[in-house]
A = this chain, B = another copy of it.
Amino acid sequence: MKILQPAASQPQARTHVVPQGTVAIIDKQAVAYNLDSLRHRLDQAGRRNGPRLWAVVKADAYGHTLAHVLGGLARADGLAVLELEEAHLCRAMGWRKPILIMHARYTAADLSDPGLAPLHVIVDSEDQLRELETLAQRPGPHAWLRYSGCLNHSGFPARTYRAAYARLHKLLQAGRLSGLGLLQHYARAEEAEHMREERRDFEAVFAGLPGPRCTENSAALLSDPDYAGSGDWVRSGIALYGISPLAGVDGRGLGLLPAMTLSAPIHGVQPLAAGAPLGYGATFQAARDLRVGLVHCGYADGYPRNLVAAGTVLVQGRACRIIGRISMDTITIDLSDIPQAGPGTQAVLWGHEALSIESVALSAGTIPAQLCVGVTGRVPRIAAAA
């Protein structure tokens, strides 16, 4: 898989003034940097007027909180959300460019709210087709007809796609839609060969149908920008937050900056004698005398409970291994080699150049998206100082 290097040299990791407490620092400047970096890749693909970019901000901007990242997304062409309520929220926060509603349980009345325009919606069922056909207001939204493809989560399969298109095209010609496009979500965007198959499959389905295309996501943009640059709109979510959508490489390796830094204070230090147990279930026993740090974060904050591989946190820039079971409120770490760290020292849990969220996800046997959306309401999100 070909991965373009960013044109600029490795981005400078930004350092944040970290307040005391269990906290996620959200850096909108990192988001802006990542957006520009994606654009630069699309330009490299050789088109002066490259595709427009939907910034995906569903799930409260992948757990980063929309309010904190919005300022970093000013140069996006539109925001993509899941629900109607999120679209209203984006408008309330002052977003004036297009919004794409992707989940799209809507009625004609929902779509007629002039406060939502310019509005784009995905059409993925007969019910939605019928709702659009009852729309009184002109022009209605820009419709995107979803192909069910290999993902099969929703959308029209090959056998009914063109008939659905014909019905929407009639609405478009009658001035009842403001646009009509062709849209697909890949099932296997991380695997180049499979993704190309999915592309070819969809191209055969829509061959000859006019209208803009929107098929590429973060994984496609980063693994295959030559192609991705030829769409009309692309969608990017995870990469905007500085997180790699590709296995085996982290955001930094792709020239991205992490938008979230999760950290928590050490709230206590406990000497642990050789042979003594630690934590619930007494799963850990000290092989020698240890100095244990109690980090004020646990699975009730969204830190993963089950580590399938060795986990670490960063203390004063150094990796400390996690020892003992992670509890609801506490992570226990081996502080033996950092005698100067103690109560009040802040530990970084992810989002640092030396400890990426991708590496924590790997230790936890999951994907980084699950970690960032899973940070619970108990953890305040605080905007990074400019």
Q: Tell me the A residues contacting B by CB distance below 8 Å.
A: 58-60, 62-63, 82, 103, 105, 124-125, 127, 148, 150-154, 157, 187-188, 194, 267-268, 270-272, 276-282, 292, 294, 296, 299-300, 302, 305-306, 324, 327-330, 332, 343, 365-367, 369-370, 373-374, 376-378
Contact = CB atoms under 8 A, between A and B. Distances in A.
Contacts of A276: 150, 152
Contacts of A305: 366-367, 370
Q: Most chain-B Cβ atoms within 10 A of its Cβ — which of A63, A125, A187, A278? A: A187
A188 B366 contact: no
Q: Most chain-B Cβ atoms within 10 A of its Cβ — which of A125, A151, A267, A272? A: A151
Given A59-B378, A153-B268, A188-B280, 9 more contacts: A103-B329, A148-B270, A152-B278, A152-B324, A187-B280, A300-B373, A306-B365, A374-B374, A374-B376
B376 A153 contact: no
Given A58-B300, A187-B280, A187-B281, A270 B153 contact: yes
Contacts of A367: 305
Please tell me how many copies of the chain the complex holds: 2
24 contacts: A58-B328, A58-B329, A60-B377, A63-B300, A63-B376, A103-B329, A127-B343, A148-B270, A150-B282, A151-B279, A151-B280, A152-B277, A152-B278, A152-B292, A153-B270, A154-B270, A187-B277, A187-B280, A188-B280, A188-B282, A299-B370, A305-B370, A328-B369, A376-B376
Closest 5 CB pairs of A and B: A59-B300, A300-B373, A377-B377, A152-B278, A154-B268
Contacts of A299: 369-370, 373-374
Given A105-B267, A370-B305, A373-B300, A294 B328 contact: no
Q: Most chain-B Cβ atoms within 10 A of its Cβ — which of A62, A281, A324? A: A281
A148 B282 CA distance: 13
Contacts of A302: 374
B60 A378 contact: yes
Q: Most chain-B Cβ atoms within 10 A of its Cβ — which of A62, A272, A329? A: A329
A376 B378 contact: no
Contacts of A278: 151-152
Contacts of A151: 278-280
A221 B367 CA distance: 38
A120 to B, nearest CB: 18
Contacts of A365: 306
A294 B374 contact: no
A328 B154 contact: no
A328 B56 CA distance: 13
A40 B180 CA distance: 65
B124 A268 contact: yes
